[in-house]
């Protein structure tokens, strides 16, 4: 990584990468982008870029946290002040909200079945609106009781109490109808 290091070294410690400077960056992996420096730290040598050349007053940004050692080339193309408005405004972070957001995201990913058909996924999504459904490999497990196996017909509903079973069958049929899926698939 010598060239990269050399680049970084030559680029200087705090001189080169300053907050607000706009660079055109090329990474060793081949990726190129342009961005404004939001933060810079020389010790682990990480730079956070705000992607794009202009800092709009947008509520969201795309950030790139770049390990400076992988920067092969960085051309200064501009400069702007205080991209984060850090001095003017206080930066608030809703930690609880973020944690919730994380939980939601995790749940969402968990709801995606691995190796299942798109149809199955649709059924799963429809069921999960009203029931607590989980993927177990390729089976849908409802309330840890009733299991629906591939191909997810009402015939393949097993487990649970008689009442629960019947209910799930009913719901499944309704869902299928709504999705206009034939019962063959």
Partner 1 sequence: MNSQPSSNGYPHTRVDKETGMKNTAASVDTPSRDPFVYLATCKIGHHVEVHLRNGSVYSGIFHAADVENNFGIILKMASLIREGGLRGMKPRAPLVSKPPSKIFIIPADQVVQVIAKDLPVYSNNVSAQCEKPSELLTDSSISQSYHVDSERELKRWVPDEDVPECPDLENLFDDPWKRGWNQFEVNETLFGVTSTFDEELYTTKLERGPRTRELEEQAVRIAREIECENTRDLHVAEERGLQLSGKFDIDEETKYSSVCPVNEFDDSGYEEEEEILLDCRNNLTFGDSTTASNGIKSASTSKDIPAPGSNESHLAEQGNGKSLESSHHKKPSEESVSGLDDTNAASDPACVQWRASDKQSSTDGKLAGQLTDRGKPEWPGTSISRNPQNSAASSTSSRPIPSPSSSIGSYSSEKSTLNPNAKEFKLNPNAKSFKPSPTATRPQSPAPEGSFYYPPPVPQMTGIHIGYGMGAAFPGQQPMVYHNTMQPGPSQTFYPPNGPQYHPQQMMVGQQRPVLFMPPSPYQPEMPYKGRDSY
Beta strand 157-158 with 146-148 is antiparallel
Q: Which is nearer to partner 1, 8 or 157 (CB)?
A: 8
112 backbone dihedrals φ, ψ, rounded to 5°: -90, 120
Contacts for 128 with CB less than 8 Å, ≥ 6 apart:
111
Question: Least distance (Å) from partner 1 to the CB of residue 163?
Answer: 27
* Helix/strand/coil for 99: helix
Q: Which is nearer to partner 1, 43 or 184 (CB)?
A: 43
Instruction: Classify the phi-psi angles of 160: left when phi > 0, otherwise alpha if psi is within -120 to 50, otherwise beta.
Output: left
Q: Please compute Rg for the chain using Cα positions.
A: 26
Question: Least distance (Å) from partner 1 to the CB of residue 83?
Answer: 9
Q: Which is nearer to partner 1, 63 or 161 (CB)?
A: 63
Residues of this chain that interact with partner 1 (CB under 8 A) are: 1, 5, 8-9, 13-14, 19, 27-29, 31, 38-46, 48, 58-70, 84-86, 89-95, 97-106, 108-110, 112-116
Question: Least distance (Å) from partner 1 to the CB of residue 93?
Answer: 5
Question: Least distance (Å) from partner 1 to the CB of residue 51?
Answer: 8
132 neighbors 142 (Cβ within 8 angstroms): yes
Q: Which is nearer to partner 1, 32 or 166 (CB)?
A: 32
From first CA to last CA, the distance across the chain in angstroms is: 55
Question: Least distance (Å) from partner 1 to the CB of residue 90?
Answer: 7
Q: Which is nearer to partner 1, 63 or 158 (CB)?
A: 63
> Tokens at residue 81, please?
């002040």
């Amino acid at each position: 990584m010598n060239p990269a290091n050399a680049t970084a070294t030559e680029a200087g410690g705090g001189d080169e990468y300053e907050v607000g400077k706009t660079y055109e960056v090329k990474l060793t992996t081949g990726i190129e982008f342009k961005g404004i420096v939001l933060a810079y730290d020389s010790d682990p040598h990480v730079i956070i870029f705000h992607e794009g050349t202009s800092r709009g007053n947008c509520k969201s940004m795309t950030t790139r946290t770049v390990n400076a050692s992988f920067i092969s080339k960085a051309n200064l193309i501009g400069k702007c002040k205080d991209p984060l408005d850090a001095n003017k405004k206080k930066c608030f972070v809703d930690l609880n909200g973020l944690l919730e957001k994380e939980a939601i995201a995790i749940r969402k990913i968990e709801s995606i079945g691995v190796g299942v058909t798109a149809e199955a996924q649709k059924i799963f999504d429809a069921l999960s609106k009203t029931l607590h459904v989980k993927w177990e490999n390729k089976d849908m497990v409802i309330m840890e009781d009733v299991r629906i196996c591939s191909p997810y017909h009402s015939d393949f509903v097993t487990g649970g109490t008689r009442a629960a079973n019947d209910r799930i069958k009913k719901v499944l049929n309704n869902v299928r109808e709504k999705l206009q899926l034939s019962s063959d698939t």
